Structure 1
Amino acid sequence: MTEAILDVQDKPKTAQWISLSLQHMFAMFGATILVPKLVGLSPAIALLTSGIATIIFILITQFKVPAYLGSSFAFIVPITIATETGGIGSAMIGAMFVSVVYALTALLIWKTGYRWLMDLLPPIVVGPVIIVIGLALSGTAVGMAMNIPTADGGSAYSMLHFSAALVTLATAIICNLYFKNIISLMPILIGIIVGYAYSAAIGIIDYTVIGQASWFQVPDFLLPGIDYSFTVTPTLLFIMVPIAIVTISEHIGHQLVLGKIVKRNYIKDPGLHRSILGDGLGTLVSSLVGGPPKTTYGENIGVLAITRVYSIYVIIGAAVFAILFSFFGKLMAAIETIPAAVLGGISILLFGIIASSGLRMLVDNKIDFGEKRNLVISSVILVIGIGGAKIEFSETFSIEGMALAAIIGVLLNLILPGRVKQEIDFESE
């Protein structure tokens, strides 16, 4: 393997530090601001908290793991459902409880090791749940891409807006497939920029909010007990918390692949318990001020692999730039003007990739669907998750959709006979 240009503890020169950190931040930028745009949160807060969460993660992992934390796509549906049922405050409280699950998981791993977690979350459970996450969002992506709101509160098809979605989608695909440098790691950002330019050319953007925004603007915080009231219900917990099944598995995969790239064993040093705790604390701090749940980013791993710059200082610099950019009022206002069609176009690709990554996990781990047990577990997870099945215990307590699918998948794997111990092969991710 080619040697690192800057290893984990190497400090770059000032000019190099600034350019490398900006490049790293922009590679994460598109995905980080897309999630809040889709769920009704502030992109500025998402950017601010991604920087803060990354610095927290680096502190908890003792400056050993060059990972960047951004907005998690796995929580788009749960946040939407929680918001519809109890307001945006419910989604934030649910995210706080997710961070508690991370902390408890980290504690158990610290005391007992991580093998039990891999037994609980084999690929036959995690793979189909990831597929559900992607496909459950497909209707949202397509609707945003081709429909516009009408005066009566409904929606109507617009070929003009759909063309903007197709231009955005085509740009992202071209960047992803036909470029091999840093551009290939920023298809979301570049797709949004080109889609935005096309939307401007065809006249579907309202710039009013940009003119009204100041150059320096404090992000819109959402503080519990001040900006919203909340009630913790069993339904709220079951909407949000089970998604940790997927995000913790994703986290482990990222740590293994990242360790392989930088030639270190992050499962042992600083330890999986520390990295999971850092991830959870990042989500906790984010939700306390109105930001989306956080996760380690695959884009981060890609940037490291291509540039061979592993420096923890570059990651810290990217986090600092993210924090500073969140106070740039004109930029945040420009983000607010991005047409729904552009977001829909990029979402078609992103949500499809999420679903496909679940399928890839099943393929990479050689799951045999000739085995009835595997066929039953995956089939039940897929139909319950995508179909939106619900178990309603009372008016205030129900478990539905993706969360129900994840829980039933875990239970079926534990209960059905013929279980073979098989850990997820994250090395192929």
Structure 2
Amino acid sequence: MSDIQSIDVGQRPTGGLWAILSLQHLFAMFGATVLVPILTGLPPEVALVSSGLGTLIYLLCTGGQVPGYLGSSFAFIGPIVAGAALAGTSGALFGAFCAGGVYLLVAALVRGFGVGWLMRLLPPVVVGPIIMVIGLGLASIAVGMAQGTIAGGPYNLTNFLVALVTLGAILFFSLVLKGFFSVIPIILGIGIGYIVALIAGLVDFTPVAEAPLFRVPGFVSFLGGFGEGGIPWGVLPILVPVALVTIAEHIGDTVVLSRVVGRNYLKTPGLHRTLLGDGLATMAAAVIGGPPNTTYGENIGVLAITRVYSVWVIGGAAVLAILLGFLGTVAAFLGSIPTAVMGGVSIALFGVIASSGIRTLIEGKVDFGERRNLLVASVILVIGIGGATLQISDQFTISSMALAAIVGVALHALLPDRHLGGDTETVLGGHG
């Protein structure tokens, strides 16, 4: 079989390869997408359905030009819990629905005033470190999963060794294999890791045996009303401002996608269309009882490693996620993949994202001999990776990733003697 170099955005793989490549993306997003509803008290199977539905909406809004997968947003975990405590689950979902509406408002502003101002705000010296923060800011999560300490538990050497085997397998398969196998290193690595974890006694098949083959997801909706209290306007200050944080993260992810695929998605199909897709996906998720959606770094990492950019593959993963919401046994089997295995996968995927940031600085010809550039990049990295947050109230905190982006943009605008190498359009690929 001939070597498969890459599969472009509009190309559709053949049936068998298509299914396997889509399954690879499903594996990448599964753990995080299911974890969010577990932490917020929402039905995990609904999160799978809303993830797939949201991704299809996103692909439709972007005209099938952006291979982005949408999954459950971690930024909304605390606000959903707080909103549910104040006004019940329906109230929290109503707040999430309104947060999705903020995306639509910002999309309209971008559509009306263009994206040129945004390109000037995000030169390579700002974009590069932000991309690095997106990847490295998640490093502690990946390592925690690998070591068994993600939920505050003790260090587990067995977990870490399984994670290293999984990581090693992915690296080996990515560099050595040719032809068909060269585009599925993630799924092969998970397979090796799963076998090793099974031998090490880390796999529990009890949930698989107890799960029903078919199930109807526990859909919940606020459309039926809120009871005697009426519309819970009090949840809006808790959930709606979070949209500003996730919008900043959305822009960062769109920049990363542009860098990985080699196209300028801020220009074509346009940031307004990616924001529209993300916002509508979040609103649709809230209507059926799922957590808000966001673009997923794990799946961007899969694109970078495999060079399979096909939106058909992403759409196939979305369809599989929807079906999985109704297949209890299959979902339980995927849930049986140990955290250590997914930790090894995450180390590879998040690291690739961070490396894309370094590539942005190099190709943007940023001169770190200039003190100004050095300071801007350094502050972004320390704030973002260090986990600095800005707590405005008990209910609203700006995350470290978003704060790093905000501070970076501010420093670029305020510090004198600007002389920045390259331009954002060049860094993003510049394709029409």
TM-score by length of 1: 0.77
Measured in 2, the distance between the counterparts of 1:222 and 1:177 equals 45
Contact preservation (8 Å) 1:33, 1:46: no
**Residue aligned with 2:70, SS:** strand
Give percent identity, aligned residues only.
Answer: 39
Give the structure 2 partner of residue 30 of structure 1. 27
Contact preservation (8 Å) 1:121, 1:245: no
Number of residue pairs the alignment of both structures matches: 408
Measured in 1, the distance between the counterparts of 2:382 and 2:266 equals 34
In the TM superposition, what are the counterparts of 1:1-150 in structure 2 within 5 Å?
8=10, 18-19=15-16, 21-37=18-34, 39=36, 41=38, 44-62=45-63, 64-65=64-65, 67=67, 69-71=69-71, 76=74, 78-79=75-76, 82=79, 99-147=100-148
Shift in alpha-carbon separation, 1:218–1:364, aligned structure 2, 3 A: farther
Q: Deviations over 1:255-295 (max 9, x none)?
A: 687586xxxx9777765533442243224323553245232
Q: Which amino acid aligns with 1:118?
A: M
For structure 1, which segment, 318-327 or 41-50, has the greater mean C-alpha deviation from structure 2 after superposition?
Answer: 41-50
In the TM superposition, what are the counterparts of 1:226-265 in structure 2 within 5 Å?
232=235, 241-251=244-254, 254=257
Measured in 1, the distance between the counterparts of 2:290 and 2:414 equals 39
Shift in alpha-carbon separation, 1:353–1:306, aligned structure 2, 3 A: closer
Give the structure 1 partner of residue 330 of structure 2. 331
Q: Deviations over 1:218-250 (max 9, x none)?
A: 345465599x99954767566553342242243
For structure 1, which segment, 230-239 or 170-179, has the greater mean C-alpha deviation from structure 2 after superposition?
Answer: 230-239
**Residue aligned with 2:429, SS:** helix
Contact preservation (8 Å) 1:391, 1:400: yes
**Residue aligned with 1:71, SS:** strand
Q: What is the Cα deviation at residue 306 of structure 1?
A: 5.7
Q: Which amino acid aligns with 1:29?
A: L
Measured in 2, the distance between the counterparts of 1:194 and 1:106 equals 43
Note the aligned Cα RMSD (angstroms): 4.2
Contact preservation (8 Å) 1:195, 1:342: yes
Shift in alpha-carbon separation, 1:24–1:234, aligned structure 2, 3 A: same
**Residue aligned with 1:362, SS:** helix
Q: What is the Cα deviation at residue 209 of structure 1?
A: 0.8
In the TM superposition, what are the counterparts of 1:11-410 in structure 2 within 5 Å?
18-19=15-16, 21-37=18-34, 39=36, 41=38, 44-62=45-63, 64-65=64-65, 67=67, 69-71=69-71, 76=74, 78-79=75-76, 82=79, 99-147=100-148, 155-221=153-219, 223=221, 232=235, 241-251=244-254, 254=257, 272-288=271-287, 289-291=289-291, 293-295=293-295, 298=300, 316=315, 319-410=318-409
Measured in 2, the distance between the counterparts of 1:395 and 1:112 equals 34
For structure 1, which segment, 184-193 or 402-411, has the greater mean C-alpha deviation from structure 2 after superposition?
Answer: 184-193
Q: Deviations over 1:128-147 (max 9, x none)?
A: 22322333332332232223
Contact preservation (8 Å) 1:17, 1:317: no
Contact preservation (8 Å) 1:259, 1:266: no
Q: Deviations over 1:109-143 (max 9, x none)?
A: 32232212211222322322232233333233223
Contact preservation (8 Å) 1:102, 1:280: yes
Contact preservation (8 Å) 2:135, 2:354: yes
Q: What is the Cα deviation at residue 317 of structure 1?
A: 5.1
Contact preservation (8 Å) 1:217, 1:328: yes
Measured in 2, the distance between the counterparts of 1:179 and 1:428 equals 31
For structure 1, which segment, 44-53 or 114-123, has the greater mean C-alpha deviation from structure 2 after superposition?
Answer: 44-53
Q: Deviations over 1:84-107 (max 9, x none)?
A: 876797997786566445423432
Q: Which amino acid aligns with 1:206?
A: D
Q: Deviations over 1:348-377 (max 9, x none)?
A: 222222322222222221222222222222
For structure 1, which segment, 399-408 or 234-243, has the greater mean C-alpha deviation from structure 2 after superposition?
Answer: 234-243
Q: What is the Cα deviation at residue 215 of structure 1?
A: 0.6
Shift in alpha-carbon separation, 1:115–1:139, aligned structure 2, 3 A: same
Measured in 1, the distance between the counterparts of 2:143 and 2:268 equals 43
Shift in alpha-carbon separation, 1:87–1:128, aligned structure 2, 3 A: farther
Contact preservation (8 Å) 1:26, 1:186: no
Structure 1 residues without counterparts, runs of 5 or longer: none
Measured in 1, the distance between the counterparts of 2:408 and 2:149 equals 37
Q: What is the Cα deviation at residue 326 of structure 1?
A: 2.9
Q: What is the Cα deviation at residue 332 of structure 1?
A: 0.7
Q: What is the Cα deviation at residue 252 of structure 1?
A: 5.4
TM-score by length of 2: 0.76
